Amino acid sequence: RKQIDKLIGAVQRDGRTIVPVRLYLNEAGKAKLEIALAKGKKLHDKRETAAERDWQRDKARLLRDKG
């Protein structure tokens, strides 16, 4: 219960997200879910990712059209 409360607090207080990492069955046949806390990207990271994605798309288009 302490771990669950800690995760809920992190989500509400810090704006983090709970992400499922792994789903598996244990020896007793019960389904288990491994979860993790994730932190979102900052604005400058998002811009960098978008710029890289656009460049890759343009580069592929140029190579396809040229030859």
pLDDT, one tens digit per residue, over 12-61 is: 888 889 999 999 999 999 999 999 999 888 888 889 999 999 999 999 99
pTM value is 0.51
> What is the count of structural domains for the chain?
1
By residue range, what is the domain housing residue 19? 2-66
Contact 27, 47 (CB under 8 A): no
pLDDT of residue 67: 66
